[in-house]
Amino acid sequence: MNCAGVLHDAARGMRPEKRLADLSADALARAFAVNAIGPLLVARHFEPLLAHGERAVFASLSARVGSIEDNRLGGWYAYRASKAAQNQYTRTLAIEWARSRRNVICVALHPGTTDTDLSRPFQGNVPAGKLFEVDYAVTHLLQVIDRLQPADSGQFLAWNGDRIPW
Ligand SMILES: NC(=O)c1ccc[n+]([C@@H]2O[C@H](COP(=O)([O-])OP(=O)(O)OC[C@H]3O[C@@H](n4cnc5c(N)ncnc54)[C@H](OP(=O)(O)O)[C@@H]3O)[C@@H](O)[C@H]2O)c1
């Protein structure tokens, strides 16, 4: 499970952008480093450990806002694009491992909007009853992982198992 991710960091002046004028090259680069490149480097280092015949799952927490098709609100340039890149890396890796690590199922997962430090500044926008407790999100993600079949490798799935459009 790749769980690391970054959306904001007030101490370093990183905030989700509302408009183009809010862009910072440093924040864009940091979002890509943590959200997109990080999970791929983890995969590179874990690859030798996955050379066995048993079922294994390599899952990275992504975010629905990384879906290009689902992008109706705009904004959040760094986070959206870094999650879209993460998804592309996951898909590309799944294709490679379907040849070289056939025991591994490789997926991107959306946990749902969950009560953590990452979502805290934006929870006011979440409709009542739609903010998940961490235990709820984790329980559902583990159920999705348990049910994964080899044919699911390379997919982008939500906490309830639904496929999310790219
Ligand atoms: N919460 C949500 O509503 C939500 C929704 C959709 C997707 N997600 C995704 O779910 C994942 C987990 O997020 P969360 O909600 O649990 O957020 P969180 O509470 O802010 O946790 C983020 C984690 O990432 C780690 N991290 C950040 N930058 C890092 C770096 N440079 N190197 C190593 N670790 C780093 C943090 O470590 P430290 O504590 O040591 O800084 C922290 O453990 C993220 O990928 C996020 O994008 C969350």
Q: Would you state the pLDDT for residue 130?
A: 92
Is residue 160 very low, low, confident or very high in pLDDT (cuts 50, 70, 90)? very high
**pLDDT, tens only, 26-78:** 999 999 999 999 999 999 999 999 999 999 999 999 999 999 999 999 999 99
**Residues β-bridged to residue 163:** 157
Q: Would you state the pLDDT for residue 112?
A: 97
Q: Would you state the pLDDT for residue 128?
A: 86
For ligand 1, pick from 2, 42, 116 the residue to mutate: most ligand atoms within 8 Å of CB.
116
Sorted by sequence, the CB contacts under 8 Å of residue 79 that are 6+ apart come out as 7, 16, 31, 35, 63, 65, 66
Q: What is the CA(16)–ligand 1 centre distance, in A?
A: 14
Q: What is the CA(154)–ligand 1 centre distance, in A?
A: 22
For ligand 1, pick from 3, 82, 159 the residue to mutate: most ligand atoms within 8 Å of CB.
3
Q: DSSP per residue over 80-119, as a string?
A: HHHHHHHHHHHHHHHHHHHHH-TTEEEEEEE--SBSSTTT
Q: Would you state the pLDDT for residue 59?
A: 98
Q: Would you state the pLDDT for residue 125?
A: 87
Is residue 6 very low, low, confident or very high in pLDDT (cuts 50, 70, 90)? very high
The percent of residues in the chain predicted with pLDDT above 90, rounded, is: 97
19: helix, coil or strand?
coil
pLDDT of 157 > 90? The answer is yes
Cα–Cα distance for residue pair 138/119, rounded to 1 Å:
15
The model carries a pTM of 0.97
Name the closest-CA residue to atom 4, ligand 1: 113
Q: What is the CA(96)–ligand 1 centre distance, in A?
A: 26
Q: Would you state the pLDDT for residue 129?
A: 87
Cα–Cα distance for residue pair 5/60, rounded to 1 Å:
10
